[in-house]
């Protein structure tokens, strides 16, 4: 194991060791409280630009496998653990976590006091950091961390969105031809399923699985796809995906969503709800340390039931900026009373801040995908 240092922008230093060899990494440090599902965490595009601390102390014990990925590559900048387990024990495992990270040149560190780091972030907030096995000078690393780009004001979606439209199938993404003209594309004329266009702002594969399981034919399109192109496709519904970072600089996405409000039933998840909130004239703000984990309590204000949810976001919609005559809040976070869901009073539209598809996490909220399919069916009647 190679000696390493993690330096935060506020001057706090953590000694650790790399289990993936020499390397350096930079990004915002956030913690995730999930007890399992580390491969899904690693491949979640919403983590682009971030280094993830797992609060569960032992990671790597069941290895990795091709079936648990949520995108085409590892998305985190670095993986921070208390203890790495080199020898996995699981019949599905095809490689160790070390091999998985090394193959994609992602730095993995352990023997770090993750409890102390997590408590520090909870107190001081998520912040920029640098990890290095080569530069072990604390002052140098802290200075480099302070010079790193902040999460605010950056378009991280452009780095994770698909460049080519594709259909989702049982075998995964089925890309269209590179020269396909999207606004002239014809759907399957059999119309055995409702047709949904999904904007890819960093979409997770399990979202696509859940939409498909709800009886929807899903065409995934790049984040920059115009409202005119969507109208030319004439879908039955529109889905806005999760994604990384700050929604404020995504003016192209906000303008498109605004142009499509009321056109077809719309469902947004995570970044999707933030874009809808901005399109409706609201504002967003950054949380102190975000919501990252599979155990966030959310109350459904209609049923009064509490759902345990999977979440991964650092920004939320400001409740005070939503027009109550147009928007009804449907879900609230019971830890900090932030908005977790709303619906429009006039348009066929609803959205949630959490991840009903889980991966990893509980399945309490998977009913929302069927609710979206039912909204489409009702709109077509």
Q: Which residues are marked as active site? A: 270, 355, 357
Encode burial over 219-253: b for 16+ CB neighbours within 10 A, e otherwise: bbbbbebbbebbeebebbbbbbbbbbbbbbbbeeb
Spatial contact of 22 and 12, defined as CB atoms under 8 Å apart: no
Show Cβ contacts of residue 186 under 8 Å, excluding neighbours closer than 6 positions.
none
What is the distance between the alpha carbons of residues 68 and 39, in angstroms, rounded to a whole number? Answer: 6
Show Cβ contacts of residue 147 under 8 Å, excluding neighbours closer than 6 positions.
none
The CA-based angle 301-302-307, given to 5 degrees, is 60
What is the distance between the alpha carbons of residues 8 and 164, in angstroms, rounded to a whole number? Answer: 37
CA-based radius of gyration for the chain: 21
CB-facing half-sphere around the CA of 27: CA atoms within 13 A: 23
3-state helix, strand, coil in the chain (%, to 5): 25, 30, 45
What is the distance between the alpha carbons of residues 27 and 150, in angstroms, rounded to a whole number? Answer: 8
Phi, psi of 40 (to 5 degrees): -65, -40
Encode burial over 287-297: b for 16+ CB neighbours within 10 A, e otherwise: eebbbbbbebe
Task: Name the packing angle between helices 205-213 and 367-380 (round to 10°).
Answer: 50
DSSP state letters, 68-121: G-SSSS---SEEE-SEE-SS---TT--B-HHHHHHHTT-EEEESS-HHHHHHHH
Neighbours of 41 (CB within 10 A): 26
What is the distance between the alpha carbons of residues 183 and 231, in angstroms, rounded to a whole number? Answer: 8
Token couple for 195 = 């047709």
Neighbours of 334 (CB within 10 A): 13
């Amino acid at each position: 194991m190679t000696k390493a240092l993690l330096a935060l922008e506020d001057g706090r230093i953590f000694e650790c060791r790399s289990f993936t060899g020499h390397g350096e990494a930079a990004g915002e440090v956030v913690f995730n409280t999930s007890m399992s599902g580390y491969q899904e965490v690693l491949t979640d595009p919403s983590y682009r630009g971030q280094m993830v601390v797992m609060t569960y102390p032992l990671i790597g014990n069941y290895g990795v496998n091709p079936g648990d990925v949520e995108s085409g590559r590892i998305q985190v900048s670095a993986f921070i653990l208390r203890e790495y387990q080199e020898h996995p024990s699981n019949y599905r495992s095809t490689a160790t976590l070390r091999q998985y990270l090394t193959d994609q040149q992602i730095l993995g560190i352990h023997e770090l006091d993750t409890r102390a780091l997590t408590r520090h972030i909870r107190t001081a907030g998520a912040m920029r950091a640098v990890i290095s096995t080569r530069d072990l000078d604390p002052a140098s690393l802290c200075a480099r961390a302070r010079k790193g780009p902040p999460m605010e004001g950056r378009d991280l979606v452009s780095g994770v969105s698909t460049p080519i439209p594709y259909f989702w199938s049982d075998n995964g993404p089925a890309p269209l031809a590179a020269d396909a003209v999207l606004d002239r594309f014809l759907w399957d004329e059999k119309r055995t399923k409702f047709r949904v266009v999904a904007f890819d702002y960093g979409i997770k594969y399990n979202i696509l699985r859940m939409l498909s399981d709800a009886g929807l034919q899903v065409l995934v399109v790049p984040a920059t796809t115009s409202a005119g192109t969507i109208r030319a496709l004439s879908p039955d519904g529109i889905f806005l995906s999760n994604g990384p970072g700050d929604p404020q600089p995504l003016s192209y996405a906000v303008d498109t969503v605004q142009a499509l409000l009321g056109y077809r039933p719309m469902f947004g998840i995570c970044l999707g709800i933030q874009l809808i909130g901005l399109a409706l004239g609201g504002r967003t703000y950054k949380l102190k340390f975000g919501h990252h984990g599979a155990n966030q309590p959310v109350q459904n204000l209609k049923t009064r039931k509490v759902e345990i949810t999977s979440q991964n976001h650092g920004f939320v919609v400001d409740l005070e900026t939503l027009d109550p005559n147009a928007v009804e809040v449907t879900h609230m976070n019971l830890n900090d009373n932030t908005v977790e869901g709303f619906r429009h009073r006039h348009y066929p539209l609803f959205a949630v801040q959490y991840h009903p598809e889980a991966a990893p996490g509980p399945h309490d909220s998977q009913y929302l995908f069927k609710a979206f399919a039912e909204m489409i069916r009702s709109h077509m009647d």
